[in-house]
Structure 1
Amino acid sequence: MNETIVKNIVAIAIGAAIGTSLRYYLNLYTLTTGYPIGTLIENLGGSLLLGFLTGWFVIQIPREWIKVGLGVGLCGGFTTMSTLASDTVFLFLEHAWWLSAGYVALSVLGGISFALGGYVLGLKVGERKKSQGVERG
């Protein structure tokens, strides 16, 4: 197997282990709320982080294993589409349709907004960092 592929797989596995562990602890911490706030925080926060990393990586081009380890591994392990779907059904069946609809709208629209905001922020921070490096060089 190609050395680059192995590095990528290892980076994804490590990132996913960290992201999944963080998601688990966050869910344990927010479980008593009765509302899937943990999943909402995970998906919005993960969207913001992935957007930021994407913007940053446009300017500051990293090694491939860093990109996939943080993006696919960490963000992929931290966010969760299946829990979003399960929580939506739970809210619909056990509480009220409007809670379920609001949860989906906030998750989807919020996720897109956070990803866009993170992307713009990542571009700005990456450009600032790059210009500081050029000025010093």
Structure 2
Amino acid sequence: MKSYLINCLAVGIGGALGTLFRYLINISILGSPFPLATVIENIVGSFVLGGLTGWLVFKKIKEWLKTGLGVGLCGGFTTMSTLAADTVMVYQNMDMGWAFFYITLSLFGGIIFAGLGYLLGVKLGEQTAQRKAGEQT
């Protein structure tokens, strides 16, 4: 029960920070009919989550920290509901072509950057593991 509560607290703190970072990006990119801020948030969040996932293949950290960073921080930073609402807004204010571009950019950009983040995380994890192995010999 104690670890469950610690995980919940980590998710809450991570989520609050992720949401704050998302909000800061949104207010810094105002006035555009195209929701560039949401694209940036979702692609960067996908990259960070991919990187964390790849890095954690080699690094053992406490479950509450893993949950707080992944589910909390990255989950609070990225947003499916804003993606959906922004798609409707782009369709209404621009046209179907821009809405399709937005969805395509968001979806494939997120997947590509999650993969790139994962590869970077694995590379960093391997380097750390090799460095530690070299220090122990």
Could you say what secondary structure the match of 1:59 adopts? coil
Contact 2:33 2:93 in 1 (8 A): no
Gaps of 5+ in 2: none
Q: Which moved more, 1:111-120 or 1:31-40?
A: 31-40
Corresponding residue number in structure 1 for 2:48: 49
Could you say what secondary structure the match of 1:135 adopts? helix
TM-score normalised over the length of structure 2: 0.96
TM-score normalised over the length of structure 1: 0.96
> How far off its partner does 1:43 sit?
0.1
Contact 2:10 2:67 in 1 (8 A): yes
Whether 2:99 is the aligned partner of 1:100: answer yes
Corresponding residue number in structure 2 for 1:16: 15
Corresponding residue number in structure 1 for 2:25: 26
Corresponding residue number in structure 2 for 1:63: 62
Could you say what secondary structure the match of 2:52 adopts? helix
Gaps of 5+ in 1: none
> How far off its partner does 1:45 sit?
0.2
CA distance in 2, matches of 1:125, 1:82: 32
Cα-to-partner distance string for 1:85-123 (whole Å, 9 max, x where unaligned): 011011111111111000000000111000011111100
> How far off its partner does 1:34 sit?
2.7
Letter of the aligned partner of 1:99 in structure 2?
Answer: W
Corresponding residue number in structure 2 for 1:123: 122
> How far off its partner does 1:33 sit?
2.6
Cα-to-partner distance string for 1:56-101 (whole Å, 9 max, x where unaligned): 1111121101100000000000000000001101111111111100
Could you say what secondary structure the match of 1:31 adopts? coil
The correspondence of residues 34-45 of structure 1 with structure 2, limited to 5 A, is: 34-45=33-44
Letter of the aligned partner of 1:62 in structure 2?
Answer: I
Q: Could you list the structure 1 runs, at least 4 aligned residues long, displaced by more than 3 angstroms after superposition.
A: none
Identity of aligned residues (%): 46
Please report the RMSD computed on the Cα atoms of aligned residues, expressed in angstroms. 0.8
Aligned length: 136
